[in-house]
Amino acid sequence: MSDTDEELRRLVPDAVSGDRRALREIIRLIHPQVLRYARARIGGGRAPTAEDVAQEVCLAVANSISRYRDRGRPFMAFVYGIAFNKVADAHRAMARDHSVPTEEVPETGGHAEGPEAAVLAADGGNRVRALLDSLGERARDIVILRVMVGLSADETAEIVGSTPGAVRVAQFRAMKRLRTLIEKQGEING
């Protein structure tokens, strides 16, 4: 168990009881992990941003912590459950909203390295998301939690409701599928 998990285990009962200092500390601990998850699932460039979603997740955790009940799973499983729903909400919002509002029209392009670099960076992120979307929902979540968020197989298993062995097998199969897709894309583009 990580230091963060141990600290959360200590803080959560106090926060559930209404201790605002404990809640602030929980939000401080979970925010970086939630932001990594949101960035992996949403990327950047469009509203709502990964930062917006991470903030919504933290707010939802703060608003629902009084109803949290320890059921033997890590607190982060509760947090990632909320994050999963907020990311789904963000994807639905992005599908409905095709505008990109700004308060001011910039005098020059916003990318110091030039528009070509900006397009390539966005395209790379889009390709990663497309590859991840080619996986089933469970496999995609396992890859994101293991590879992008950096959780152990045990932590991931508790979050997705599986065993560490099944998580490792699913991750292996998903990574093999991604490698195959990347190789096929290389053949098509090359």
Q: What is the pLDDT of residues 153-173, one digit of tens each?
A: 888 888 888 899 999 999 999
Quote the CA–CA distance of 158 and 151 in Å, as a whole number.
11
Count the alpha carbons within 13 Å of 51 in the hemisphere toward its beta carbon.
3
Quote the CA–CA distance of 141 and 66 in Å, as a whole number.
27
Structure-block tokens of residue 62: 């703060």
Quote the CA–CA distance of 98 and 89 in Å, as a whole number.
15
Tally of domains within the chain = 2
Q: What is the pLDDT of residue 108?
A: 55
Label residue 77 by pLDDT band (50, 70, 90): confident
- For 173, other C-beta atoms within 10 Å of its C-beta total 14
Question: Could you tell me if 56 and 31 are in contact, meaning their C-beta atoms sit under 8 angstroms apart?
Answer: no
21 and 84 within one domain:
yes
How many H-runs (helices) and E-runs (strands) does the chain carry?
8, 0
Read off the pTM: 0.65
134 within a domain of the structure (yes/no): yes
Give the domain range for residue 144.
Answer: 117-184
148 and 55 within one domain:
no
pLDDT in tens, 11-32: 999 999 999 999 999 999 999 9
pLDDT at 121 over 80: no
85 and 33 within one domain:
yes
Quote the CA–CA distance of 33 and 41 in Å, as a whole number.
12
Question: At which of 71, 101, 131 does a domain end?
Answer: 101
56 and 8 within one domain:
yes
